[in-house]
Chains A and B, each alone.
Chain A
C-alpha cells in the first residue's frame, strides 16, 4: 500500500473532524449572538477586581 493513500485518508479524516466541529458549534447556537460575548469579554476583569475588593473589605471588617 502506497503512502499516498494513507496520507490522503488522514488528511480527509482531519478535514472531516473540523467539519464536524463546525456543524456542532453551529448547532449548539454559538454563532447566534455574535455581539454580546464581545462586550462581555471586556467586563470580566472589572468584575473580578470588584469582588476581590469586596472580599478584602469583608475580611478587614471581620479582622
Chain B
C-alpha cells in the first residue's frame, strides 16, 4: 500500500497505482482525463489548483435520450444556422481550475466556439456548431473529462426563469434621490435668512419635491401594499406605521413648501426609504447554486428508452410513457414509473425513496416502484402507470407541499409592530388634543411630527440586519438557509426529529465485521476471486475491503440471482450469499450480512453495519438537554439495540415508516410543539415540508437535496446544537435593538410633542438611529457566532 495520492482527483491510490508521465493515478479513468488534457494543451489545469479533477463515471448509454430531437430542442437556449447554445448544470464545478478548463473547452473540440461559466450557479453556457458535434456528444465529452452535466426533468419543464431585479432598481432610485435631496437640502440646514439662499429657495425645494416623487410612488410601493394588505386582514403589521410615516412625511413636506412654512422633510423621507430598502436587500441572501424547491423532478431523468414492438429501441420523453409501454432500465438508472419486471437481474436500491438501506433483489413479475435505482444489468420493464400517478410522485399532491411556512409565521417584528402602532397613534392623538386646547394653530404640526419621528425605521432594520448577517455566517459554516424567516422559526423549535439512513448514518461505506471461523489463506484467496466476478453491490463492497490476492481464473463460477455466488478452484468450492443459500438456518434476518461456506461447511458471515457519523453521541447529549428527540426511520429495526446503547437516554424510535407515515407523524407532533425535521432523501420530503423547519443533510450540497428550508453540510451535523442556540440568541439581539431604537424614538418624540421638530433634527436622528442599529446588530451577531469556530468538545 502506498500513501501517494492521485495526480488528477487527489484520492489516495489504494488498490492500484498507475504510473504515467512521472505521475501517479488512482485509476485508468483519471489517467485518461490527464491524457486528454495533455493532448489538448490544457495541462495548466493542474497548475491552477492541484488535484481538482473527478474520476469520470461510467456513462454508457446515459445520454441516449439526447438522441430525441424533441428533448434536445427544449434543452437548447438557441438554435439557428447550425449554431446551438446550451446551458448545462455541472455539479462537480468547485474551483478555479474547473472554471479555467470549462472556459477552454474550445481546445478540446474544434466545433465548440465559446463556453462561459457562471460559477455561483454552477453552470456553463456552451456555444457550438452542431454540424460536427451534437448535444449528446457534447454531454459525453464533458462527462469524459469528469464534468458530467446533470440534466434532470426539472430543467426540462422550467419556463425560462425571469430574474427579479425590482429590489435593485428600487434601491437605485431611492439611493439616487437620497443623495441628490441631501445635497439640495444642505444649505437650508444652516443659513435660513441669507439673501442669496432666499432667492433660490423655491427652486431648491421644488427640485427636492421632484426627486422625492419616484421614491414615494415607486421605491416605497411595497410598504404601502403590505400595509394595505395587513389592514384589510385586520392586522397591524410593522408596515402600517412605516407607510403612515412615509405618507405623512410626503404630505407635510409638500404642504410646507407650498405655504412656505419650511423646507420640508424630503431628506428624511428619501433617507428612510433608502435605509429600509438596504435592509431588505441585505436580508435577501440567496445561494444561487442551491435549490430549496426541488421535488422528484430533479431526481428523474428526462428521457427513457422504450422498446417498440419489442424490437426497436427508441428514446422518448418521460411524460410520454403510457401504461403498457416496455422500457429499458440500465445500470444506475432510475425506474421512472411504477412497473412490472419482465426480464433482467433486478437489484433495486430504494434508499432514496423509502430509506431502506439495503437494496432488494426482484424476480420477473415483481412490481417495481418509481424512484428505485437499478444496480446491475439491463432490465426490461412494463409500465403500469404514467409518471405523475406513480406511488412516489403522488406524495407531492399532499397539501403539505403547497403551504407557505413563511407567510403563516408571525415574525417578531410584526408582533412588535402591532403594539408599536397602537402606542404611536395614542401618543399622536394625545399630543394633538393637548395642542388643540393649548394652541390650535400648532396641533396639525405636532400630529404629523409625531407620525414622522415615530416611523419605526430602526425597528424595521433590526431584524433584517441581525438575521441577514447570521444567515451569511451560517452559510460560511455549511448551513444554508432558504431565508431569514427560517432563523426565527428555528429559534422556536422544541422537538427534533431525525431520519436514520443517510442522515445519522453516512452514505459512504459500511463497517464490515467478520463473525465466525477464521478463513484459511486458500479460502481467502478463493473468496476474493469469487467476489471479483460478482456484480452485486454487497460483493463489490466486500471485495473492496478484503486483502489483495493473486488474480486467478476460476474453474467454475455460478451466480444465483438474489441468493449468492459460488466459485470453484482446484477442487475447492466456496459459497457466498444469503443464509439460506449457504446452508445456515438460524441466522439473524435483521442485519445485512453475507454468509460464507467452504466446501459446503459453514464458516461465518460478514456483517454490514451502517456507519454513524462522527460526533453524534456528543451532539445528542447536548441536544437532549433542551429538546425532545425522536428517530424516525424508513429502515427496519435492526439497529434499534445499537442506537439504544449509543444514546442512553429517553429517545423514542420508530422504524418501517413510509414517506406518508413520516408526514403524518410530524403532523401529530405539531399539535403540541414546533418540529425540526432533519432528513436527507425523497422519502423525507413529506416530513420536511410538513415540519416547522425542514433541514436536509447532504454530503455534497451541490448535488441533490429534497425541498426544504435549509441544507446542512453533513460534516457540520455535529454543529446543529450551536446553530439552534445561535438562532435563539439572535432573537435576543433583535429584542435589544428594539430597546435601543425605542430610546431614539423617545428622544425624537420629545421634540415632536413639544412642537419644535426641525427638519434638521429629523435628518440627524433618522440616519443616526439606523446606523447605530446596523452597527450594534452586526457586532453582536459576529460576537455570538465566534462559538462556531471553536472545535467540538
Contact = CB atoms under 8 A, between A and B. Distances in A.
A and B are partners in one complex rather than unrelated chains: yes
B207 interface: yes
B41 A40 contact: no
Contacts of A31: 168
Interface string A21-61: 01100110101111110011011001100100010000000
Given A12-B180, A33-B121, A23 B207 contact: no
Nearest to A27: B165
A32 B104 contact: no
Contacts of A33: 118-121
Contact of A26 (B116, B120, B168, B200): B168
A23 B119 contact: no
B629 to A, nearest CB: 39
Given A33-B118, A33-B120, A33-B121, A40 B103 contact: yes
A47 B104 contact: yes
Contacts, number: 57
Interface band, chain A: 20 to 34
Contacts of A34: 120
A5 B119 CA distance: 49
Secondary structure dominating the interface of A = helix
Contact of A5 (B103, B104, B120, B203): B203
A15 interface: yes
Contacts of B121: 33
B41 A54 contact: yes
Interface in B98-115: 99-100, 103-104
B172 A26 contact: yes
B172 A19 contact: yes
B44 interface: yes
A22 B172 contact: yes
Contacts of B169: 23, 26
B517 interface: no
A36 B115 CA distance: 13
A31 B288 CA distance: 13
Contacts of B104: 47
Given A19-B172, A46-B44, A39 B99 contact: yes
Contacts of B99: 36, 39-40, 43
Interface string B296-315: 00000000000000000000
A32 B203 CA distance: 39
A19 B177 CA distance: 10
Contact of A15 (B163, B168, B176): B176
Contacts of A35: 119-120
Contacts of B180: 12, 15
A40 B180 CA distance: 36
Interface string B164-192: 01001100100010011000000000000
B626 interface: no
A50 B41 contact: yes
Interface of A: 2, 4-5, 8, 12, 15, 19, 22-23, 26-27, 29, 31-36, 39-40, 42-43, 46-47, 50, 54
3 closest Cβ pairs, A-B complex: A36-B119, A33-B118, A19-B176
Interface of B: 41, 44, 48, 96, 99-100, 103-104, 116-121, 163, 165, 168-169, 172, 176, 179-180, 200, 203, 207
